[in-house]
């Protein structure tokens, strides 16, 4: 299992000539060898879950998960070998995963204060421990929110709280969101969050998270007062269209972005002005599949979709009137992205590395690519 994928130096670029850099990566001066800025890894299966490692001692490391129908699925941990420019999967760190993981995340612990753990969501939330010598991955905890019931709503997504890494919030098709204390391996809070399936969840601060749902709403929850939630946006055209993904801008928590089912637009919200998007991004030519806020800038976002494009947007004009260019663009029917990348197929997954903000990773078909911004 695993490990059979090959790495290709430069991925398909749709006619764009290869551009290779002639110098090293800066942080590694000795290695001044040629290197391409697109690294591709081909997995033996369709990739869906994919994410960057956050730890500073594990650069260019990612976890990818298969999307195979049924029980038997796989996770691999891959890493870019900076000397050869190859992304390799470590067979010792590949492991079986029950059902396709809907999301994977490494512990948000840049300073390596915590064990090297990884969480995945599928039928349950699972915490995996990568051995310190990288010899194996072990299941450390299986967190089941519904101990009393045989029914467990499969988890659609989860988010790890940056500010409080013991907390993970999960969203479920059973309309609930659950906040876990992974240190105690117990439920902190479980809330019936929506009228329908909850599709995504994102933390906005220590005790605040938001979720999106098949009921078409974005709701904000404050754990200090679990009785209330606030609907800050509801999909229109037509009303109640499911919202499928949510991203909260960690750098500037005033903003969050959401994706609508079957829609090519991305809606950006300002939490202070409920109901009305602060801007809508309209330049994708097919439905959007993933969004990722820049980890190091408060006003940049990357979006990717079925049009095989990953677009990077500068939203700094959102809150000021000092950007005549943007305003002019707005007059012409919306903001334009600043940068674009075209992949070989529909981009299903997108993650921006929080510890190496120069890099974004995308997954399309069976390929993983890491791209320099």
Partner 1 sequence: MEADLEIHEELPEKHHLRKQIAATVRKIQWSYAIFWSISTRQPGVLAWSDGYYNGDIKTRKMTQPIELKADQIGLQRSEQLRELYESLSAGDSNQQTRRPSASLSPEDLTDAEWYYLVCMTFKFTLGQGLPGKALANKQHIWLNNAQFADSKIFSRSLLAKSASIQTVVCIPFMGGVLELGTTELILEDVDLVKQITSFFWELPNPICSEQSISSPQLAERGEGIICPDIDNGIDNSIPSEHHHLIADRQTPLESDPTHFPFPIHSYVPAEHTESVKVEELHQNICEEPDTCSPDDSSNECCLTHQLEDLLGADGLNGMSRTHSLQLVDDEFSNGLLHGSLSSDEHATMSFVDAQRAVSSATREPTRNQMLGGLQEGSHGKHISLDLDGDDSHYAETVATILRTSKLVNPVLCFLKVSFRSSFVVWRRGFNAPKSFIGTPQKLLKKILMDRAWWRGNHVLSERRRRDKLNEKFLALRSLVPTGGKIDKASILDDTTQYLKHLERRVQELESGTAVLGTTDRRKNPDVAERTSDNYLGNEITNEWKPPGNKRKACDMDEGEAEHHFVLSKHGPVHVTVTVKEKEVLVDLRCPWRECLLLEVVESMSNLHLDPISVQSSTVDGMLALTVKSKLRSSNVASPGMIKRSLQRVISKCL
Q: Of the two residues 142 and 340, which places its CB atom closer to partner 1 in the complex? A: 340
List the interface residues with partner 1, window 5-34 (CB under 8 A).
14, 16, 19, 21
Task: Report the nearest approach of partner 1 to the CB of residue 327 (Å).
Answer: 4
Binding mask 33-62 for partner 1 (x = CB under 8 A): ----xx-------x-x--------------
Q: Of the two residues 76 and 348, which places its CB atom closer to partner 1 in the complex? A: 348
The DSSP line for 316-361 is GGGG-S--HHHHHHHHTTSPPPSEEEE-SS-EEEEEE-SSSTTEEE
Q: Measure Cα distances from 95 to 104, 139, 174, 202, 291 in Å.
A: 13, 9, 27, 27, 27
Q: Of the two residues 130 and 373, which places its CB atom closer to partner 1 in the complex? A: 373
Cβ distance 367 to 41 under 8 Å? yes
Q: Choose the binding region for partner 1 from 50-58, 108-116, 174-182, 301-309 (rule: CB under 8 A).
A: 301-309
How many Å apart are CA 335 and CA 325, to the nearest integer? Answer: 9
Cα–chain center distance at 176: 20
Site size for partner 1 (CB under 8 A): 102
Q: Of the two residues 92 and 173, which places its CB atom closer to partner 1 in the complex? A: 173
Q: Of the two residues 100 and 169, which places its CB atom closer to partner 1 in the complex? A: 100
Task: Report the nearest approach of partner 1 to the CB of residue 335 (Å).
Answer: 8
Cβ distance 118 to 137 under 8 Å? yes
Angle in degrees, CA 331, 254, 342, rounded to 5: 60
How many Å apart are CA 127 and CA 155, to the nearest integer? Answer: 14
List the interface residues with partner 1, window 223-262 (CB under 8 A).
224-225, 228, 230-232, 242, 244-245, 251-254, 261-262
Task: Report the nearest approach of partner 1 to the CB of residue 247 (Å).
Answer: 14
Is 350 a residue that touches partner 1 (CB under 8 A)?
Answer: no
Is 214 a residue that touches partner 1 (CB under 8 A)?
Answer: yes
Cβ distance 104 to 63 under 8 Å? yes
Q: Which of 205, 240, 241, 366 binds partner 1 (CB under 8 A)?
A: 205
Q: Which of 67, 281, 291, 350 binds partner 1 (CB under 8 A)?
A: 67
Q: Of the two residues 5 and 295, which places its CB atom closer to partner 1 in the complex? A: 295
Binding mask 115-154 for partner 1 (x = CB under 8 A): --------x--------------------------xxx-x
Q: Of the two residues 1 and 339, which places its CB atom closer to partner 1 in the complex? A: 339
Task: Report the nearest approach of partner 1 to the CB of residue 273 (Å).
Answer: 8
Q: What is the DSSP letter of 282?
A: -
Is 326 a residue that touches partner 1 (CB under 8 A)?
Answer: yes
Long-range contacts, stretch 168-171, CB < 8 angstroms, 24+ apart: 168/119, 168/125, 169/201, 169/203, 169/209, 170/121, 170/125, 170/145, 170/201, 171/198, 171/199, 171/200, 171/201, 171/211
Q: Of the two residues 162 and 181, which places its CB atom closer to partner 1 in the complex? A: 162
CB atoms within 10 A of CB 325: 10
DSSP helix/strand/coil, 183 = coil
Task: Report the nearest approach of partner 1 to the CB of residue 176 (Å).
Answer: 15
List the interface residues with partner 1, window 259-288 (CB under 8 A).
261-262, 271-279, 283, 285-288
Cβ distance 120 to 142 under 8 Å? no
How many Å apart are CA 270 and CA 253, to the nearest integer? Answer: 9
List the interface residues with partner 1, window 76-95 (CB under 8 A).
none
Dihedral of CA atoms 154, 234, 305, 199 in degrees, nearest 10, equals -10
List the interface residues with partner 1, window 149-188 (CB under 8 A).
150-152, 154, 156, 163, 173
Task: Report the nearest approach of partner 1 to the CB of residue 177 (Å).
Answer: 15
Angle in degrees, CA 38, 59, 258, rounded to 5: 70
CA torsion through residues 344, 350, 356, 358, sign: positive
Q: Which of 9, 165, 207, 240 binds partner 1 (CB under 8 A)?
A: 207
């Amino acid at each position: 299992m695993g490990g059979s994928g090959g790495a290709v130096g430069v991925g398909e670029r749709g006619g764009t000539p290869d551009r290779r850099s002639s110098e090293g990566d800066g942080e590694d001066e000795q290695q001044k060898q040629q290197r391409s800025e697109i690294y591709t890894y081909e997995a033996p299966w369709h990739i869906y879950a994919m994410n960057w490692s956050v730890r500073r001692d594990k650069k260019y490391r990612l976890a990818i998960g298969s999307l195979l129908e049924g029980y038997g699925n796989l996770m691999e941990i891959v890493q870019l070998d900076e000397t050869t420019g190859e992304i390799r999967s470590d067979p010792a760190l590949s492991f079986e995963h029950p059902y396709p993981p809907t999301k994977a995340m490494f512990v948000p612990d840049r300073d390596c204060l915590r064990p090297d753990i990884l969480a995945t969501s599928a039928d349950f939330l699972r915490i995996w421990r990568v051995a310190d010598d990288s010899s194996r991955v072990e299941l450390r905890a299986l967190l089941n929110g519904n101990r009393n019931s045989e029914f467990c709503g499969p988890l659609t997504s989860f988010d790890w709280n940056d500010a409080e890494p013991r907390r993970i919030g999960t969203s479920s098709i059973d309309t609930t969101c659950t906040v876990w204390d992974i240190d105690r391996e117990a439920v902190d809070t479980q809330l019936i969050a929506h009228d329908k399936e909850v599709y995504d969840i994102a933390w906005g601060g220590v005790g605040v998270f938001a979720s999106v749902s098949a009921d078409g709403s974005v709701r904000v929850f404050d754990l200090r007062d679990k009785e209330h939630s606030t609907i800050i946006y509801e999909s229109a055209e037509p009303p109640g269209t499911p919202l499928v993904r949510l991203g909260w801008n960690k750098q500037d928590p005033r903003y969050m972005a959401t994706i609508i089912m079957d829609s090519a637009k991305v809606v950006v919200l300002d939490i202070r002005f409920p109901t009305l998007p602060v801007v809508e991004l309209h330049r994708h030519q097919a439905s959007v599949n993933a969004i990722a806020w820049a980890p190091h800038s408060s006003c940049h976002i990357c979006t990717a979709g079925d049009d095989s494009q990953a677009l990077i947007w500068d939203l700094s004009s959102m809150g000021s009137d000092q950007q005549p260019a943007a305003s002019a663009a707005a007059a012409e029917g919306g903001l334009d992205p600043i940068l674009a990348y075209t992949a070989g197929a529909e981009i299903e997954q997108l993650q921006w590395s929080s510890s190496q903000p120069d890099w974004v990773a995308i997954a399309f078909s069976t390929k993983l690519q890491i791209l320099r911004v």
